[in-house]
Amino acid sequence: MCGILGFYNLSIENDRLRAAVSSMQHRGPDNQQFIHFKEDQIGLGHTRLTILDQNERSNQPMTSPDGRYTIVYNGEIYNFRELKAKYNIETETTSDTEIVLKLFILQGTDFIHECNGMFAMAILDNEEKSIHIYRDRLGIKPLYYFHNGKSLAFASELNTLKILLPGLKVNKSVIPDFLQLGFIPSPYSWYSNVLKLPPGCCLIYSAKYGIEVTPFWELKKPGTGFQWTDEKRAKETLSALISSSIEYRLIADVPVGAFLSGGIDSSIVAAFAKKHSPGKLMTFSIGFKDTKYDERKYAEAVARHLGTEHTSYVYSEKDLINEVGSILDLYGEPFSDSSTFPTMLVSKIAREQVKVALSGDGGDEQFMGYNSYRWANRLSNPIIYNFRNFGASLLAMKGDNRSKRVAELLKIPDKQHFYQHIFSQEQYFFSDSEISQLMLSPGSATLLFHDNLDQAAQKQAYFDLKYYLPDDLLMKIDHSSMKHSLEVRVPLLDYRIVEFTQQLPLNMKLRNGQSKYLLKQVLFDELPQKLFNRPKWGFAVPLQRWLTKDLHYLIDDYLNETRINETGIFKFNVINELIKRFDNGDHYLYNRLWVLILVQMALTKGTETK
């Protein structure tokens, strides 16, 4: 795992280039280098976390023997040894970087179809004066790029681009989307002219032809093409795919461990990793002194059954609260997912013993693990949909927090906003109508994801795979782990598994009200079912309670009338009413206040470079 940056047709001095590379040292503390072709106004930089081939011969930027091609690369290609053998590639290192570079030289852009891994990479053709940039199929590794029509710059992190390009201006048009989703959806970012390269895409840039972004892989919609009907064969196939994926992701020249919460996804990853590990597998979990948020006993039970070398650490709420101020610095833009705080802490304890950890991300989105999928099914029922406004009025009259929440969920404006509305209300964010009332200038979320409502649960999950997973969950995993120089691999998001799960009928995912049906059948061949007879609980923190007490100062500091008027985005009277309702017991509004705080923080803490 590493950090990369580059630019084309920009005049940047070495001191600034060096500072930009240094800003990603946490992503690659083992080596930092850059190459600068001043006459051509081209530069590439890299920070290295050594996972394969500890020798300095594998440092980057890496240039081909003839000097024509140079690569900077963040991630891992897990099948690199097979590709080396298949194409009889002669190498001077044992790294996957050299295989990637030489495969590109052999095949051109088509090489990417053979690569199984997580990656953001850029290859400079010094002869053609062009840059080819690729991001992996599911968006596991981030890649931001700046383009203004004549110049290009890119980096693994927004903060690095801000060093390369002082003067970036906030793109205020993304604020409504952030208020509704809690993240900024691809391809947009917090800054004008700065975009996220979408998952599964290739960007080719040259001074002669300009920029072109094209997909090399696309996530197929569920219910299209071949569909599995034989449950036994489907289970055998899923088990084999998970086994293969995890065997790939244990390839490393450094110790590899696994996060273990005791839930379905992390447990199946740990179980298969234990089977394939040459030595004793190290597993890691954290807990909190607030027992409601402490799942250590479940993780420890799974670890005992598997016989892993388990490390469990207890944090206090103060430890978590101390991390809150770093969220804007970490992501470089507003990012609301509060589970980033425990993810940072478990990454910190894992990094003390390993350089690589496996995570169970991706299981919920593929196997119907969230309540939003059940709501999509319910609300797609024509009777419920047609009488949704009447039902919302009745529930709002009850007065308790749960009834008010469900009332908001029922207020779907129309079928065009069906999926993003369900997502926003399940996450306690603003609805489109609330955003219109909140903003001084007319504003509404621009993301539209609509389709007919057949198999609504599957399409709600497709929404999550397309947006929530890459722009929130995977961004969180990447930034939270790399803060502590830890590489996290996500075996359930091997693209072969995702292509397979898109071919599964709904009843192999959600059956008799129980989610993750087929995944659980595979798991229960490895671990006893009794270990998992409990309600699902996410990697949560008590943000609602914090905002009523320890973090209420953030409401006071960033949502007061003076600050609101200074930023000039929101109507203070609407925000003030939200705060009064929250303070008087409508605690389900906490995430609405949280996203407002983050926007206000970003606008007032100098993220708009002068």
Q: What is the pLDDT of residues 429-484, one digit of tens each?
A: 999 999 999 999 877 677 767 666 568 899 999 999 999 999 999 999 999 999 99
DSSP state of 192: T
For 110-116, the CB contacts below 8 A with 24+ separation are: 112/202, 112/216, 113/216, 113/217, 114/79, 114/83, 115/77, 115/79, 115/83, 116/77, 116/78, 116/79, 116/248, 116/494, 116/495, 116/496
Give residues with Cβ within 8 angstroms of 557, minimum separation 6.
563
**pTM summary value:** 0.94
The sheet carrying 309-315 orders its strands as: 309-315, 282-288, 256-259, 356-358, 487-489
Q: What proportion of the chain, given as a percentage, has pLDDT over 70?
A: 96
Asked whether residue 223 carries a pLDDT value surpassing 90, the answer given is no
Mean pLDDT (whole number) for 270-276: 96
Residue 460 · residue 372 · CB < 8 Å: yes
- Tell which residue, 328, 335, 323, 326, has the closest CA to residue 604: 328
Whether the CB-CB separation of 38 and 106 falls below 8 Å is answered with no
- pLDDT of 1 strictly over 80: no
Place of tokens 């409508």: 586
Strands 356-358 and 487-489: what pairing? parallel
Burial 537-559 (b: 16+ CB within 10 A, else e): eebebbbbebbbeebeebbeebb
Question: Is 360 annotated as contributing to ligand binding?
Answer: yes
Interval 169-186: pLDDT, tens: 999 999 999 999 999 999
Cβ partners under 8 Å of residue 179, min gap 6 = 429, 430, 435, 438, 445, 592, 595, 596, 599
Q: Residue 610 has what pLDDT?
A: 31
Q: pLDDT tens digit string along 17-45?
A: 999 999 999 999 999 999 999 888 999 99
Query: Which is nearest to 3 in space by CA: 184, 186, 161?
Result: 161
Instruction: Kindly report which listed range (102-111, 263-272, 534-543) carries the lowest average pLDDT score.
Output: 534-543
Distance separating alpha carbons of residues 190 and 175, to the nearest angstrom: 8
Q: For the segment 325-367, what is each residue's pLDDT rounded down to a tens digit? A: 778 889 999 999 999 988 999 999 999 999 999 999 999 999 9
Rounded mean pLDDT, 386-401: 80
What's 149's DSSP letter? S
C-beta separation of 7 from 124 below 8 A: no
Residue 539: pLDDT over 70:
no
Provide the pLDDT for residue 295. Answer: 73
* Helix/strand/coil for 390: helix
Burial class of residue 185 in the structure, from the number of CB atoms within 10 Å of its CB (0-12 exposed, 13-18 middle, 19+ buried): buried
Interval 555-571: pLDDT, tens: 999 999 999 999 999 99
The C-alpha angle 263, 269, 271, rounded to 5 degrees, equals 90
With beta carbons less than 8 A apart as the criterion, state whether 369 and 363 touch. Answer: yes
The rounded Cα 217 to chain-centroid distance in angstroms is 18
Query: Per-residue pLDDT averaged across 103-114, rounded?
Result: 95
CB neighbours (10 Å) of residue 324?
18
Answer for the pair 228, 504: CB distance below 8 angstroms, yes or no. yes
The β-bridge partners of 285 are 312
Q: Contact 269/360 with Cβ under 8 angstroms?
A: yes
Give just the sign of the alpha carbon dihedral 217, 447, 371, 334: positive
pLDDT of residue 207: 81
258 or 320, greater pLDDT:
258
Residue entry with tokens 């809690």: 182
Looking at per-residue confidence, does 221 or 581 come out higher? 581
**Taking residues 270-283, what's their average pLDDT?**
94
Give the 3-state secondary structure of residue 286.
strand
pLDDT band at 608 (very low <50, low <70, confident <90, very high): very low
* Contact (CB, 8 A) for 68 and 76: no
286 is in an annotated binding site: yes
Provide the mean pLDDT of the chain: 91
The yes-or-no verdict on residue 101 having pLDDT over 50 is yes
Pick from 457, 375, 387: nearest CA to 395: 387
Output the pLDDT for position 607: 41
pLDDT higher than 50, residue 505: yes
Q: Is 96 annotated as a binding residue?
A: yes
* Backbone φ and ψ of 215, nearest 5°: -75, 140
In this structure, is the dihedral angle defined by the CA atoms of residues 155, 158, 162 and 168, taken in order, positive or negative? positive
> Is residue 421 a contact partner of residue 432, using CB atoms and an 8 Å limit?
yes
Q: In this structure, what are the phi and psi dihedrals at residue 487, rounded to the nearest 5 degrees? A: -85, 125
Q: Which domains are delineated in the chain? A: 2-215 (3.60.20.10), 231-367+469-532 (3.40.50.620), 542-610 (no CATH)
Per annotation, catalytic residue among 2, 115, 201, 202: 2
Let me know if 2 is a catalytic residue: yes
Task: Return the CA Rg of the chain.
Answer: 24
C-alpha to C-alpha distance for 492 and 499, rounded to whole angstroms: 11
Can you give the pLDDT at residue 601?
Answer: 93
* pLDDT of amino acid 400: 80
Average pLDDT over residues 526-533: 91
Between CA 299 and CA 343 the distance in angstroms is: 15
Question: What is the per-residue pLDDT for 306?
Answer: 95
Dihedrals phi, psi of 190, to nearest 5 degrees = -70, -15
Q: Roughly what angle, to the nearest 10 degrees, separates helices 401-410 and 371-380? A: 50
Residue closest to 543 by CA, chosen among 580, 581, 595: 595
Q: Which residue has the higher pLDDT, 583 or 448?
A: 583
For residue 238, what pLDDT band results from cuts at 50, 70 and 90? very high
Helix (H) or strand (E) holding 511: none
Q: Are strands 201-206 and 282-288 parallel, antiparallel or unpaired?
A: unpaired
